[in-house]
Amino acid sequence: MSFNFMCGWKQITIETLAKQERPLSVLLEGNLCDIIETTYPFEDILKQEMLWCLLCMKYPNNVKSVNHVKYLNRKILEHPNFRLGATKTFLIHDLPEAEMSPRHVQFLNFWQDMFMNNKIVDIDILPEPKPDGYAMAVSGLDLQFPFSFYFMKQIDNFKTLYEEEISLLRKDRENIDPSTEKLLEQIYENYIKEFTNKVFNSITLLRTSPLEQVSDLYFKDFVNIVCNSEASLKDISVLSYILKCKIGNEKILNPILLHTFWWEHANSTLAACQLVHMCPDIINYTRDLTSENFDDYLVGEVTNTMLRRIIESQETTELQREIKKVLNLCEKISSFIRTESLQLLQICYDLLLTELIQLKPIKEIIKIGETDDKIFSTQFIHEVFEMFRNIEPKQTNKITFAKQSFVMK
């Protein structure tokens, strides 16, 4: 409804005139017990306050955060404790221990101890509640171990100490395996035991936590948190699969080993995740892969996939981008053996990069490499140099790099 006042009066607009849901007179004059039973049910009050509490938390501005708030509001309202508390006009904080599983009881006691620790949760320093008053660093983390995010950050504080002590150990050649140039297995295992004691002695809450009994939950939370912080990770199951292959199904349940591995191999593991996304059938591989053979198998499968894609492709621009991405990711995985198939992919990329050689002859040399016992056979080398000779003399400067790169291989 709009009113336009002349004679110099300001325009006033009333958008809506809505009827009050509950008569104000009844709320002011009625008996409180009667009001929460009839006019303003206690369940409605709880629903309104619950949404208010959730809106006081400032999540990152994205659709995921909105859906997370909606999910929390819906699931909390559906919880049996809430339903029972709402209908009885008081909240029941927990179920009788007889109705809980042993793990539930253990988690509940630990959660309460953590929450009551002022060094971890100090409500006295919190500002008064208001919309978007409490900034949340991350959103939508479906964590299963109580305060796993807190413990993960605490353990990460020891990264510098770990790197310094490992560096000192490596300076002593007697600690190094000459065949791998890595620390001797026994030396590293002894150090990890000492380092673990340092961490647990410094973070005393770890000793009283049920972490060792439910380390599988901590592993899941670790993967969840890493995936949430890394934009390149699209699937939690992929990172979980890679960590199990590279660390081992048993060792991933050791939180300290999990963290130390990530400190040393985060970049190569993230690169491996992207390669697996490009060749998802790898996850269905039935044989047991270990840290010794995983990288070789992964690079080999992705390389062969890209070579097949070249044979099937009709367009070069997008193909060049994909090959370049694969080669860059493979370079970050330093522990694999540089196979002939990877060198063949590099040669194909160099030839495509000249923009002077068509796809057809490149496809031919791939087929030759696949049929011969060795990729770099006499016929293969002859065909590549034949391509170089067919380039017009005035264009030869454009293929110099490709020719030099091929000779070096």
pLDDT digits (tens, 9 = 90+) for 383-404: 777 777 777 665 666 666 666 6
Q: What is residue 37's predicted lDDT score, i.e. its pLDDT?
A: 76
What confidence score (pLDDT) does residue 14 get?
56
Higher pLDDT, 95 or 389: 389
Three-state SS for the chain is: CEECCCCCCCCEECCCCCCCCCCHHHHHHCCHHHHHHHHCCHHHHHHHHHHHHHHCEECCCCHHHHHHHHHHHHHHHHCHHHHHHHHHCCCCCCCCHHHCCHHHHHHHHHHHHHHCCCCCCCHHHCCCCCCCCEECCCCCCCCCCCCHHHHHHHHHCCHHHHHHHHHHHHHCHHHEECCCCEECHHHHHHHHHHHHHHHHHHCHHHHHCCCCCCHHHHHHHHHHHHHHHCCCCCCHHHHHHHHHHHHCCCHHHCHHHHHHHHHHHHHHHHHHHHHHHHCHHHHHCCCCCCCCCHHHHHHHHHHHHHHHHHHHCCCCHHHHHHHHHHHHHHHHCCCCCCCHHHHHHHHHHHHHHCCCCCHHHHHHHHHHHHHCCCCCCHHHHHHHHHHHHCCCHHHHHHHHHHHHHHHHC
Confidence of residue 155 (pLDDT cuts 50, 70, 90): very high
Judged against a pLDDT cut of 80, whether residue 52 lies above it is answered with yes
**Whether residue 91 has pLDDT greater than 60:** no
Does 366 have pLDDT greater than 80? yes
| The predicted structure's pLDDT at residue 89 | 44
At 192-205, the pLDDT tens digits run 999 999 999 998 88
Q: What is the pTM of this model?
A: 0.75
Q: Check whether 26 has a pLDDT greater than 80.
A: no
pLDDT band, residue 370 (cuts 50/70/90): confident
Residue 90 has pLDDT above 50, yes or no: no
Q: How confident is the model at residue 92, as a pLDDT?
A: 42
Q: With 80 as the cut, is the pLDDT of residue 304 above it?
A: yes
Q: Who has greater pLDDT, 82 or 289? A: 289
